[in-house]
Structure 1
Amino acid sequence: MSMQQLRGESDFDQLPHNIPISAAIADIEEKKGFIDYFVFVIEVKTKGGSKYLIYRRYREFFNLHQILESKYSPEGTEKPGSNTYILPSIPGKVFIGNKQEIAESRIPELNTYMKRLLSLPTWLLLDEALRMFFYQTDQDSQHKPRALRRLRPPTRKVKTVKPKMDIFSSPRAEVMFDFRGNNKTELNLKRGEVIFLLQRVNADWLEGTVNNQTGIFPQSFVKIIKPLPESDPEVEGEGNTYSCLRCFLLTQSGVDTRDVCVQEDLTIQPTYKDLLSRMRNIFKKDDIALNYRDPDGDLIRILDDEDIRLMIKESRGQQDKVKRPVNQFPWELYVTLASDLSVYKTEA
């Protein structure tokens, strides 16, 4: 069924020029934050003919679907009527498995979901939540695509010198995810392989040798074991930038201090759930509590997102009194055992 059949030609003509009318996933990108996850890189086209990229997590798709169901689904509203509509189905949540494989497998289903969503009647297409989901935010516009499949580097002749395979001294990387090249210039990689690095092609792509084959590949698919000796001056300074979070595990046996590097802006307010999960993974303990120190130096337990907001607010107020590196968060986490209440100051 075409979009015109659902809406009628006159209704379509009345739509604003900036209304999104089609969207397709161009790629997925790994985001290394307090919790590592993948985002879908989506190319959106508007009625006026403009195109732009947006970056959305699966849970943003899921949250949008829940909002629309509560407003318009005949089963979700208390009084079904003229403002109800049968919405397209969305792929369900997956809790176990390789994150990249899960994201890849969702691409066809989410493409179908977006196609059907943007073919709904005009009155529903103008819903604010739906429009905001497909609009390009400032954060979207500032995001630089990394290893976007349709934006691969242009093919060029490179003078390749076959390296001596010295596993102890050669620049090399370990393949973290399977990768299938699109043409003869791109390598096919399998997870676990060691690839010897020859040179950097641009900020996102490297050239290397594996299994007696030489070609290019996206850096985001590998983990660098030994970097190339010199960076390409054309792309110097365009690599990943990291922010540092200092955290402490307080136990009876002493203090374990860690610096956690994440690709998050210093202004971000992470969720309590994400921080708790990350600290459990770092310190390899499940029964823990998150805390921060207030301006008086007392330890305060964190219980929810509102406590996170208060921690960040108080920490920013103390920025002038504490010297930190420019890439370090102004707040610090103190991790304790959930059952240990002796760390808190109590009145006699």
Structure 2
Amino acid sequence: MSMPRQIRDESDFDQLPHNIAVSATIADIEERKGFIDYYSFVVEVKTKGASKYLIYRRYRQFFSLHQNLNAKFDPARPGPNSCVLPSLPGKVFIGNKQEIAESRIPELNTYMKAMFDFRGNGKLELNLKRGEVIFLLRRVNADWLEGTVNNQTGIFPESFVKIIKPLPDSDSEAEGAHTYSCLRCYLLTPSGVDSRDVCVEEDITIQPTYKDLLSRMRNVFQLSDIALNYRDPEGDLIRVLDDKDIQLMIEEARGQQAKVNRPVNQFQWEVHVTMTSDLSVYNTEP
């Protein structure tokens, strides 16, 4: 893509939809005690329409992005697209995890101010926003990919995205790469249903313990007095109480696998979270 096509006039901003993200700032850190124990950065994203939402990113995701950008735009190799990237706080292997994460916030905020969203220019190019998950279809060439997001299919530059699950036989599938899997979960309350897609660095075949899954859902929905459930083939909620129930939940989901079309990196089982005291969600009729 030529430089003139990457640069947008100020007048173009007025034509953007109100839900387009225009800034991102790290507001806090959050401890994640799910399948793995780590701290993530809470990123507050503001849109053109003045609304806000939160996304969560680990330091290793910033580091991987920085490496990819350096390889693409390294100023040591002069060219029309070369540039000097802002500094990224280095890796720290020893110390208190919380203190390390907090100390990284100022530099990461400076780093993010230099990042920008990609806007497709033409019918073939895909419009991307920070935080969106794109399902890859094929590699167009060394620099461009084709994928689908929000029911739209198009091409986009690889340098603007973080590859979570590489294409089959992709050169980027290196030995020892991390496996990311997506878990769909729901919070059922009298006021409605809140659905989330939770990304974990475990293989899609893993069976978590009841204790770990309960802890993760408490973190996701920021509630403590909750119960875990799954839906049986008849659509009724079944409360999960121990590891055996987790195993049964997964086995029943596998039995329904052919009936539900899911992304290749999404768990076949889902978690339905309710308040512990709310028994009205269960079918108690004979």
TM-score band w.r.t. shorter chain? 0.3 to 0.5
TM-score, scaled to structure 1: 0.38
Greater CA radius of gyration, 1 or 2? Answer: 1
TM-score, scaled to structure 2: 0.46
